């Protein structure tokens, strides 16, 4: 049986990768609001870490240097300390000519804040920390916010994904790296993939090197096995159009503006 997260969904979904990382500071409320309000995104893709005091916060990197005006690991700071960090400090839409968010204080949001800002919106969530017990903290937040049916979760690391499944067996889970690799290689090789009912969603790159991994044949095979496919991270309009015509489940993009335009052109897309 499909998890509630997937029930009623039709391809092709508009999924904003980190909120649309080429248009606004990634994994921040301004980016998420832009994606939802301006580009009618149907799903937010985001990543979470834990602070020193056990708060679940939304950020991709384990350290602060790439996106903010601060340095050091997120796990070493309390939420109160993170509140003083400007998460939009290094965002530039034009290769460093301007930094439009430097004069605005853009916070690193908590997962609770995101869930409350967009109640009921579907979220694709990658849990970054590998330490045992993080799944318990995440479960508590999702349960208390009534969001378990609105989140599809997972990790790059198979051991973490397995703990997430064990803690939240009725939730939607996407394939971790090793299980995904085995699945994709078998399907691409014309073989029957390993049966693994724990994972229903395949979040995968469109290309491996020069090889395009997703095509109509691949999507037919995955649909036959009851799997939903989202591809990342697609910012090229022609690739978007081809994926929509192939009826891919969802497209994750840093350019939600382009994807919205293309989806609005396609009569059968959402």
Question: What confidence tens digit (pLDDT) does each residue in 118-169 have?
Answer: 999 999 999 999 999 999 999 999 999 999 999 999 999 999 999 999 999 9
Mean pLDDT of all residues in 235-262: 97
Residue-wise pLDDT for 62-115, tens only, equals: 999 999 999 999 999 999 999 999 999 999 999 999 999 999 999 999 999 999
Domains and CATH numbers, the chain: 10-265 (3.20.20.190)
Residue-wise pLDDT for 6-40, tens only, equals: 999 999 999 999 999 999 999 999 999 999 999 99
The residue among 186, 182, 188, 250 whose CA lies nearest residue 213 is: 188
Give CA angle at 33 (255, 86), nearest 5°.
90
pLDDT given for residue 151 in this prediction: 98
Residue-wise pLDDT for 210-236, tens only, equals: 999 999 999 999 999 999 999 999 999
Contact 173, 4 (CB under 8 A): no
**For residue 203, what are the CA distances in angstroms to 17, 45, 82, 136, 229?**
12, 11, 30, 23, 6
- Residue located via tokens 């690739």: 239
pLDDT given for residue 168 in this prediction: 98
Residue 269, pLDDT > 80, answer: no
Residue-wise pLDDT for 180-211, tens only, equals: 999 999 999 999 999 999 999 999 999 999 99
pLDDT given for residue 89 in this prediction: 97
Cis peptide before 151 (omega within 30 of 0): no
pLDDT given for residue 2 in this prediction: 80
**Which secondary structure element, helix H or strand E, spans residue 50, and what is its range?**
strand 43-50
The span from the CA of 261 to the CA of 268, in Å, is 14
The span from the CA of 151 to the CA of 87, in Å, is 24
Query: Which pTM value belongs to this model?
Result: 0.96
Burial readout 219-228 (b: 16 or more C-beta within 10 A, e: otherwise): bebbeeeebb
Residue 270, pLDDT > 80, answer: no
Give CA angle at 142 (56, 108), nearest 5°.
30
pLDDT given for residue 266 in this prediction: 78
pLDDT given for residue 154 in this prediction: 98
The tokens describing 261, both together, are 């335009």
pLDDT given for residue 239 in this prediction: 97
The span from the CA of 169 to the CA of 104, in Å, is 41
pLDDT given for residue 268 in this prediction: 59
Contact 149, 4 (CB under 8 A): yes
Give Cβ neighbours of residue 252 (< 8 Å, ≥ 6 apart).
15, 16, 17, 45, 124, 203, 230, 231, 232, 233, 234
The span from the CA of 9 to the CA of 1, in Å, is 14
pLDDT given for residue 128 in this prediction: 96
């Amino acid at each position: 049986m499909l998890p509630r997260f997937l029930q009623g969904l039709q391809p092709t979904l508009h999924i904003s990768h980190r909120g649309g990382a080429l248009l606004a500071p990634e994994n921040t409320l301004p980016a998420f609001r832009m994606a939802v309000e301006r580009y009618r995104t149907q799903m937010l893709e985001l990543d979470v870490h834990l602070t020193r005091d056990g708060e679940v916060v939304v950020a991709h990197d384990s350290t602060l240097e790439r996106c903010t005006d601060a340095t050091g690991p997120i796990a070493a700071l309390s939420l109160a300390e993170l509140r003083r960090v400007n998460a939009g400090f290094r965002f530039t839409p034009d290769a460093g000519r301007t930094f439009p968010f430097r004069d605005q204080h853009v916070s690193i949001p908590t997962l609770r804040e995101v869930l409350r800002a967009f109640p009921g919106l579907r979220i694709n969530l990658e849990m970054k920390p590998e330490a045992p017990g993080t799944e318990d903290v995440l479960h508590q937040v999702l349960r208390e916010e009534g969001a378990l049916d609105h989140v599809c979760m997972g990790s790059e690391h198979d051991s973490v994904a397995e703990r997430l499944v064990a803690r939240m067996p009725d939730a939607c889970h996407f394939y971790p790296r090793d299980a995904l690799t085995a699945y994709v290689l078998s399907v691409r090789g014309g073989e029957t993939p390993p049966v693994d009912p724990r994972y229903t969603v395949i979040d995968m790159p469109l290309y491996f090197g020069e090889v395009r991994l997703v095509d109509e044949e691949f999507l037919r095979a995955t649909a036959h096995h009851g799997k939903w496919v989202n591809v990342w991270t697609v910012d090229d309009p022609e690739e978007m159009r081809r994926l929509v015509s192939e009826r891919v489940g969802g497209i994750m993009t840093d350019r939600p503006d382009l994807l919205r335009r293309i989806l609005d052109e396609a009569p059968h897309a959402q």
